[in-house]
Structure 1
Amino acid sequence: MSSSRPRRLGRWRNSFQWLTTLSILLIPFGSWNGDGLLRIDIGRRSLHLCGQILRIQELYLMLFFTLAFGLGFLLMTLVFGRVWCGWACPQTTLSDTAEWIARRFGLKIKRNRLQGDGWRKILTHCCYLLLALLVAANLIWYFIAPETFFTLALNRELPTAAWGTLVVISSLVYIDLALVRRLMCREFCPYGRFQTALVDPGTLTLQLPASEQSRCIKCGSCVRACPMEIDIRRGDQIECINCGRCLDACRVVMDKRQQPGLIRYSFGRQGQGIRALLNPRTLLLGLVFCLLLVALTTAVILRAEATLKVAVSHTARSRLLADGSLATFFTAWISNRGATRTSYDLAARITTDGTKLPLRGQTRNIELAPGANRKVSFVVVSRVPTGRQTIEFLLLDDTGRLLSQAAAEISPP
């Protein structure tokens, strides 16, 4: 005996979609220790991620991140199939929103085309344009902080590249909302084709099992509910986005007959349940993903708070001073990898015996903002070496704690 109110997945799907969408919209407004949760700073060539600032020099971290993200996406596809397409993909959310707006204005949608009065279409397209501007602006906020974006825009100081990006992205999204929508998923998106190569005996699928087909009353409700306009009764189809609308429609119809729905989600097609995931390919990919995630987390946590690179200056020659000592000109590059503004001091010593060497120039109270780089020129005063001599340079914070080291060689003039 079925319940008078069949269990439907539509609310869960919609809630998940909008939670994902709101996260994408709000992440640029979030902060961690005064810095953005996620932002790409093109000017400083750095990635700001949850209080961490990863500069272009730390490409090995980006490699770990890219590999972990790619493998995570593959693992999700291997386990959940095209549930991403129906439950979380921004393209699906945009298509759903576009169709909801059209219906709110009294338009009908047939074969991906709007049908109805002209003035209703005009209002619908105006809403599409506003939505396209929001999507484009949201993308730019991942490169320019929202408060900075609005300030620059109101003062007409927003860079030309940002204006150009806003126009181009808005135009593309508007075309998508107005003309493309489901065609993107049905005809152009490569993910559906890619996913077919990853399907596994344990992959989550939306299906009408052969054992249930005898109960089908051929009402066609599943076909009418499908946004991709396919018939799930014909078996696996590449256009299916696993959204579950057909499942809900079938449950409603069959509940009136006091029977459970025919269509269901299942891991694999043999009804093994979650045990179907215990296969070598899924377990191996899951293990590799976890190892990469651990490696990435460890590398980020243990990375140096600051870096120091030192080289003998090529623009100024070493010279002998009146007291017989040698003045050697150096250039240092200091990078603040931390999340707070920090003051640094430089020190130098001879590597072999640890003798401290005096420095001349701005080598104390060197302040750097989070993620900033600074070039410093200074002079090391030492005895004239009899041969090549290695000098060790120390980068200290304002408490005297050693943060980084570098070495360089000097030779007789």
Structure 2
Amino acid sequence: MSSPKGGSIPPPFNLQAKTGNNRLLGPYRRSFQWLISLLILLLPWAHVDSVSLLRVDFTTLSLHLFGATLRIEELYLLLLFSLALALFFLLTTLIFGRVWCGWACPQTTLSDLAEWAARKLKLKVSGFRLAGAVWRKALLHIFFLMVGLLVASNLLWYFIEPERFFRQLFHGQLHPVALGTLIVITATVYFDLAFLRRIICRDFCPYGRFQTVLVDTSTLVLHLPATEAPRCIKCGACVRACPMEIDIRRGYQIECINCGRCLDACRRVMNKRKEPGLIGYYFGINGEGPRAIFNPRTLLLASGFMALSILLVCAIKLRPEATLKVALSHQVASRRLKDGDQVSFFNAWINNRTTTKAEYHLSAEDQGNGQKLVLKGPTHGIIVDGGQNQKVDFVLLTPFTGEESRVSFRLIAKDGSKLAETDALITPRQSR
């Protein structure tokens, strides 16, 4: 097989599922869609040491990320994660093009589900339109509403634990913001399935336009090579099978979502003629082959992604098990006692960064002379659940010297090891 430039075009890169002499990709695509959908649905239910595998918790301003709990003060870790995710997105787009759109995008999966349900109800699916009896359409719209409710609930599970979500929903205790979000997203998904579906992919999705900027000789594209065109019998099966209503015989088009339906349609027809199909997945429009992936752009993005991923993992693993913040209480003023000591009222915030419950105690000493200082209050046997932040109010007794002094506060683990340390400035008080 030769290319228009005179070179040879490598064979297409294809997953394969037998059907006669040619092989179909549809079963693989549907299985992959099911796998991704189930992963999205079940991920909020998964836990590591009783902590959600992936959830944003607004009540504690933290992110539960695959066993680690990142609080708002650890935004640098979230930034690293976001940068690594962005580079991964660019890298996969550069290599696989719009295969994401046809194989994994929730919008495509929902559109496929909508059209499958329409066919089961014996409605005619013609391009972006559904035609048939009114009562059948009514049943379909009820189905769309149920799917919208499921999608909206699933999204909220990434912010509210599923068990708590259902308990609050059934008892009418769901927060108004969460309830409003549930209604808005349900209505949005319903409107999408009922009236838009593929139109979103064709006219509104910015990803398809963005992806065209990254297409180069290494990108995987669904393509009908010019050398195969003479074998085309112009049956139109590929055009009829395309959910985006495009003609792949006209070359690369940004509306193509690389789903492979045209490939399967062509292979079914050519299988009857005992000939190989004309359409295939190729790395690059000119069919440069998988070796074209190893180019400076791809290698640069891959290196950046690996570096950020390693940095993120190391930053999470090497961070302290717990943190301590201490501040003078604004509610009660410091004062001098009759015995000559000064009493200062403090608030402490202890953050347990592990996924298991832990016990701590607080200690303090004067930075100037190293003298141990007395703490009054619940400063021993402090129990903090994994990933939680706990406030502790206590009193510090210091000898009155008439001068400012700096005090070190330490967070001590149950085994006696020091986990965190911070300091505060004590200002002398003359009043008794």
TM bin (shorter chain): over 0.9
* Residues 368/7 of structure 1: CA separation in 2 closer, same or farther (3 Å cut): same
Q: Which runs of 5+ in 2 are unaligned?
A: 1-17
Range that drifts further, 132-141 or 333-342 = 333-342
Deviations 1:200-243 (A, max 9, x none): 22011110011111111111111111111100000011100000
Aligned equivalents of 1:197 and 1:272: distance in 2?
A: 19
Measured in 2, the distance between the counterparts of 1:274 and 1:89 equals: 24
Alignment of 1:45-84 (within 5 A): 45-84=61-100
Deviations 1:42-97 (A, max 9, x none): 12211112222111111111111111111111111011000000000000000000
Q: Which stretch has the larger CA shift, 102-111 or 302-311?
A: 302-311
What TM-score does the superposition give when structure 1 sets the normalisation length?
Answer: 0.96
Query: What does residue range 161-176 of structure 1 map to in structure 2 within 5 Å?
Result: 161-176=177-192
Gaps spanning 5+ residues in structure 1: where?
none
Q: Give the RMSD, CA atoms, in angstroms.
A: 1.7
Output one character per residue of 1:267-320: Cα deviation in whole Å (capped at 9) or x when no partner: 112322111011111110110011111111111111122111122334434333
* 1:399 positional shift: 2.2
Match of 1:181 in 2: 197
CA distance in structure 1 between the aligned counterparts of 2:332 and 2:19, rounded to whole angstroms: 87
Q: Does 1:262 align with 2:278?
A: yes
More moved, 332-341 vs 199-208: 332-341
AA aligned opposite 1:121 = K
Instruction: Say whether the 8 Å CA contact 2:127–2:244 is kept in structure 1.
Output: no
Which residue identity does 2:374 align to in structure 1? P
Q: Say whether 1:91 aligns with 2:132.
A: no
Tell me what 1:113 maps to: 129
2:3 corresponds in structure 1 to none
For the pair 1:288 / 2:304, whether they are aligned, the reply is yes
Is the partner of 1:48 in helix, strand or coil? Answer: strand
How far is 1:3 from its partner?
7.9
1:225 aligned partner? 241
Quickly say closer, same or farther: Cα 1:150–1:3, change in 2 above 3 A. Answer: closer
Identity %: 56
Would you say 1:206 and 2:234 are equivalent positions? Answer: no
Does residue 419 of structure 2 align to residue 400 of structure 1? Answer: no
- Give the distance between the partners of 1:395 and 1:56, measured in 2 at CA: 20
SS of the residue 1:378 aligns to: strand
Partners of 1:125 and 1:382 in 2: CA distance = 72
More divergent stretch after superposition (371-380 vs 26-35): 371-380
Structure 1 residue identity aligned to 2:332: A
Q: Following superposition, which runs of at least 4 residues in structure 1 exceed 4 angstroms of deviation?
A: none
Measured against aligned partners, the alpha-carbon deviations of 1:95-139 in whole angstroms (never above 9, x if no partner) come to 000000000010111231111111111111111111111111111
Does 7-16 or 362-371 show the bigger shift? 362-371
Asked if the contact 2:217–2:288 (Cα under 8 Å) also holds between the matched residues in 1, the reply is no
* Partner residue in 2 for 1:357: 373
Q: Please, which moves more after superposition, 238-247 or 305-314?
A: 305-314
| Aligned equivalent of 1:160 | 176
With structure 2 as the length reference, what TM-score do the two structures score?
Answer: 0.92
Q: Which residue of 2 aligns with 1:190?
A: 206
Q: Report the equivalent of 1:409.
A: 425
> 1:338 aligned to 2:354?
yes
Paired residues in the alignment total: 412
Q: 1:123 aligns with which of 115, 132, 139?
A: 139
Distance 1:135 1:315, change over 3 A: closer
**What letter matches 1:368 in structure 2?**
V
Counterpart amino acid of 1:399? Answer: D
Q: Is the Cα contact below 8 Å between 1:333 and 1:376 reproduced in 2?
A: yes
State the shift of 1:264 in Å: 0.8
Secondary structure of the corresponding residue to residue 114 of structure 1:
strand
CA contact (8 A) 1:385 1:411 kept: no
In structure 2, the partner of 1:147 is 163
> Which residue is equivalent to 2:325?
309
Contact 1:201 1:276 in 2 (8 A): yes
SS of residue paired to 1:206: strand
The range that moved more, 368-377 or 124-133, is 368-377
Corresponding residue number in structure 2 for 1:382: 398
**1:378-408 Cα deviation digits (max 9, x unpaired):** 2222333464322111001222221110011
- Is 1:370 matched up with 2:424? no
CA distance in 2, matches of 1:43, 1:323: 43
CA distance in 2, matches of 1:34, 1:411: 44
Alpha-carbon shift at residue 337 of structure 1 (Å): 1.9
The SS at the match of 2:181 is: helix
Q: Which amino acid aligns with 1:51?
A: G
Letter in structure 1 aligned against 2:269: V
| 2:251 aligned residue (219, 235, 245) | 235
**Is 1:325–1:381's contact at 8 Å kept on the other side of the alignment?**
yes
Rounded Cα–Cα distance in structure 1 between residues aligned with 2:406 and 2:165: 49
Residue 51 of structure 2 corresponds to 35
SS in 1 for 2:159: coil
Moved more, 383-392 or 96-105: 383-392
